[in-house]
Amino acid sequence: MRRASELASVKRAIVRIDPAFASPIKNLEPCTFGLKNPRMTQYQSLIRAVIAQQVSTKAARTISWRLETKCDGSITPTKVGKLSTKQLQSIGLTGAKVRTISELTHATLSGKVSFRKFAYLSDEEIAQELIPLFGIGRWTVEMFLIFHLGRLDVWPVDDLAVRRGWDNIHANSKPTKAKALYLLGEPFKGMRSVVAWYCWRAS
């Protein structure tokens, strides 16, 4: 109930700051960040985010399903760690993604990355833990922070759909660039993930 009340308050604040969001917030699918417990572990969420990089949603689902099958129904660090490079490539992963998944898995098993402490870390501290790993960039971390951890103040300006949605909401004739959108997001500090949600839905 606390998060539902918080989201309702955030949506009202967004409209006060920028009335252009009144229609999207009223008519598009409501933001649900943090309202439900995640259906997967943090490790699984990051693995799926890596798989989703630069491929279609359909392709990402297929590859994730194949990996799940290789892991006997549950993607865990221990099970993934036992798969060979050839086995990972056989499900449709590129060499780069195999390396990323392997590094993340090793870091998890060794304790270099400890998901248990993420609840106590800031967004930037979590980014500093994950970005040094090969193939995990800021976009991947932002998706993890928003969709798995339910963090409310992430502003993924490098996401094309967020920029396109912003332009649709504001009826812009020229595309807004990432640097410009970052500044436009400043008035929404503390609630930028929710703004991004409605931009995605409006894209």
Number of Cα atoms under 13 Å in the Cβ half of residue 43: 22
Confidence check: pLDDT of 1 > 80: no
**Can you give the three-state secondary structure of the chain, one letter per residue?**
CHHHHHHHHHHHHHHHHCHHHHHHHHHCCCCCCCCCCCCCCHHHHHHHHHHHCCCCHHHHHHHHHHHHHHCCCCCCHHHHHCCCHHHHHHCCCCHHHHHHHHHHHHHHHHCCCCHHHHHHCCHHHHHHHHCCCCCCCHHHHHHHHHHHCCCCCCCCCCCHHHHHHHHHHCCCCCCCCHHHHHHHCHHHCCCHHHHHHHHHHHC
pLDDT confidence of 23, banded at 50, 70, 90? very high
pLDDT confidence of 175, banded at 50, 70, 90? very high
Q: How far is 12 from 185, CA to CA, in rounded Å?
A: 16
Token pair in block for residue 184 = 């436009």
> Going from the N-terminus, what domains does the chain have, and what CATH number goes with each?
2-33+153-202 (1.10.1670.40), 42-148 (1.10.340.30)
Catalytic positions, written as ranges: 159
pLDDT confidence of 35, banded at 50, 70, 90? confident
What is the per-residue pLDDT across 118-156, written as a single tens digit (0 to 9) for each?
A: 999 999 999 999 999 999 999 999 999 999 999 999 999
What is the per-residue pLDDT across 37-50, written as a single tens digit (0 to 9) for each?
A: 888 999 999 999 99
Q: What is the pTM of this model?
A: 0.91
Mean pLDDT of 170-178: 97
pLDDT confidence of 176, banded at 50, 70, 90? very high
Phi, psi (degrees; rounded to nearest 5) at 7: -65, -40
Token pair in block for residue 144 = 């993890």
